[in-house]
Chain A
Amino acid sequence: MTTSTAQPPAPVGPRFKKQVPHNVKTSRRAAWMFAPSLLVSFIFVYVFIGITVYISLSNWKLGTSPDLTLRQPFGGTYAELFQEQRFQADIRNVVIFTIIFLVLAIVGGLVAALFIHHVTVGKGLFRTVFLLPYALSFIVTGVAWRWIFAPSTGVNEILRSIGIENPPGWTTDTTILGALNDPSGTDFLKIQFGIPVALLPIIFAAAWQLVGFAMAMYLAGLASIPEEHLEAANVDGANTWQRLRHIVLPQLWPSTITCFVLLLHVALKIFDLVVAMSGSGPGFVTDVPGIYIYNYLTSRYDKASAMAIVLLLLTLAVIVPYLIRGYRKERKA
């Protein structure tokens, strides 16, 4: 995953006078230098993606007995996949998870960064407190969150003690909020589209853990905003909100994009946190593509591979426009 960072200014001055000139010889040497890493990344990324695509189109069902003939009709595994209730639930869950998680983590990170940037006492302490969860593994925090959201104990004990008779079932709740459809059973769509309530505690836990990461990104962004801009705005009589809206936020835009891209793949790849907190859940309300792939690796190689490719395409659908935009910008510059 690449991220655009500001290009360092071209080195000038006497120390860099002896810079090797660009010619055919040096560029050939550069190609040689890059060859090993290009070769390794070509094999371990693109060849393996190619193999996975091929397996997803083949008859290779069991890990123990490879069958590399192409499946007839072509792409049958994908057709089979798309009809599954579990697959449809997984796609719904990962989309909902990604959207809400990104909003929570990015907004939370921005607020935390603004707070720490302007606080005068205990800056270091706050920074550590917010960043600490990011240093823990999802399995560790997932187990703790599972206890917190356990319906019969956990946070529900507190809710009961303050008089709430029927506290929520958290990850055991099968309700879909704002359902857009009601599948009859014979339709192609076998799930209700909407926000699965059971997913919300997991999204919250994930956002809590990654807020520190977003905060660190924004803190770096805030530090790079020139004081002069803010002072000039002050002199012009801009209030706090106007300064935030017209000076700080626009200059934080690159940090936002970086956060977005880096957190996006955390969301799409999410696996360990869900496994620790709830598993697949009743009716797959908390299932995600990662768990699907893991479950099918020992029983259907082709289906697990097809799901992996779908996951890859989901990632590309967001990353590719971002990369294209980056290239265009570079060219203009």
Chain B
Amino acid sequence: MRVQNKLKVSMAVTAAVSLIAVTGCSANQPAGGGGGDGTNKLEITSWWTSGSEAEALNVLIDGVKSSSPGLSVDNAAVSGGGGANARQALAARLQAGSPPDAWQLHPAGQLKSYVDGGQVADLTELWTQNDWASKLPKDVAEAQQVDGKYYTVPIGVHRGNVLWTNPAVLSKANAAIDPAAGVDGLISTLKQVEASGTTPVCLGDKDIFASAQLLESIIMSRVGADNWKKLFTNEYSFDAPEVKQALEDYKTILALSNKDHSAITWDEAVKKMANGDCAVSLMGDWAYGELLNADKKPGTDFAWVTFPGKEDIFDYVGDGFSIAAKNTPNPEAANAWLKTLMDPKVQTEFAAKKGSIPAVTNADISTLSEYQQEAAKSFAEASVVSSLAHGQVTTAEFAQTYADAVSTFNGSGNVEAFLASMTQAQKTQL
């Protein structure tokens, strides 16, 4: 009899535990913590976890703490996958109705997916109250909007189309890169380098974004900033002769690159360039910090030019923060956070740690590195366009289609197939 009782108890316990497990997973409970429990807490999610990124994030956290005394900040950063893991975690929290107070995202296309889902708060009032639009280049302010409303606040700016060069290799080949000579000029310089016996281009596209970014820089140079933007509103076709020319250029440059490009990563490629294995390497300006970390000296071991083209284009890869449309645990703290982000002093300090440049034009850049000062100047003057390789200019789906088309092209070199799949995507996905 006792045995049977024990059995019944254990059965009941098992059933109860498994029921709790099952119902716990579909929990739709309101957000815990935050304002509800009386403490003044701010929770921030991002994918900034590497050394320099975490330090840069701390600048922002210290900034908001000094403007809102007594606020405790919960840094809920998720590492890995270039932000993919953090976005997955965020999506799950948004679905469950338990968002963080503010989260990191790329503006423009990625922003649009949150707006379409009705998950991100309209910040237009905050923007007009603080007159933020006047403190930013026009293109940058526009990138924070969807259908004329502001949904995000920009904190830092990276440039995607920078050609890093090795001065020693170039001078050995008696060659120089003239940004004004355009893509044709670049290719003839690269052929000159090849004739001198050195591989002209270092590329590391084990992660496909590196070639996607190279091709995107060539397309931008061939079609110009205005047409680049029109590619994503379906007012300019991927079938245009300029895009086709860009594909041919890309094929030529791919043939002038290291043969093992698909086996190495972007950081290995820029270091190869600085070591003198080749003359140039295209990469975003996060490569600058990578080169400094490898004890390379700017000016002597490596130099930089904007990717050659008919006009000065700034390929914008930006970071910003948004807040949830509903259920934000501590809206007041979230607003204080956004205001802190737009403080020019905070933006300068953040840029110094992260290696990016401030988004606001009234920030003091005199303390930043030579490269950053040059980039900041160009940012204020050049035509700013958003990156496709980093999923910023349009939807995530279109960016994935582009990445796949580049992977396919790298294997087959088939220009027509590339153009066909991209024009098809323009028709069905935009």
Contacts and interface: CB of A to CB of B under 8 A. Distances in A.
B407 A278 contact: no
Q: Which of B116, B397, B403, B408 has the most CB of A within 10 A?
A: B408
Interface string B404-430: 100110111010110000000000000
Interface in B90-144: 91, 94-95, 113-114, 116-119
A175 B261 CA distance: 16
Interface in A20-58: 29, 32-33, 35-37, 39-40, 43
Q: Which of A33, A64, A170 has the most CB of B within 10 A?
A: A64
A86 interface: yes
Contacts of B411: 174, 281-285
Given A150-B263, A282-B410, A282-B411, A32 B11 contact: yes
Interface stretch (B15-23, B288-296, B376-384): B15-23
Interface string A282-305: 111101000000111111100000
A85 interface: yes
B70 to A, nearest CB: 33
Contacts of B403: 295
A113 B59 CA distance: 59
B400 A62 contact: no
A291 B411 CA distance: 17
Nearest to A38: B18
Contact of B18 (A40, A62, A283): A40
B88 interface: yes
B206 A279 contact: yes
B77 interface: no
A35 B14 CA distance: 10
A92 interface: no
A157 B347 CA distance: 48
Contact of B262 (A185, A281, A299): A281
Given A62-B117, A86-B404, A185-B416, A298 B410 contact: no
A239 interface: no
Q: Which of B7, B15, B84, B91 has the most CB of A within 10 A?
A: B91
A280 B259 contact: no
A43 B119 CA distance: 28
A299 B87 CA distance: 11
Contacts of B21: 40
A39 B206 CA distance: 44
Given A171-B263, A279-B207, A64 B18 contact: no
A287 B403 CA distance: 13
B100 to A, nearest CB: 15
A36 B113 contact: no
Interface string B1-25: 0000001000100110110011000
Given A32-B11, A85-B408, A86-B407, 14 more contacts: A40-B18, A40-B21, A61-B397, A62-B396, A64-B119, A150-B260, A169-B263, A171-B262, A190-B417, A279-B262, A280-B407, A284-B408, A295-B403, A299-B395
Interface of A: 29, 32-33, 35-37, 39-40, 43, 61-66, 84-86, 146, 149-152, 169-172, 174, 185, 190, 278-285, 287, 294-300
Complex A-B, nearest 5 residue pairs according to Cβ-Cβ distance, in ascending order: A283-B411, A65-B117, A299-B396, A282-B410, A64-B117
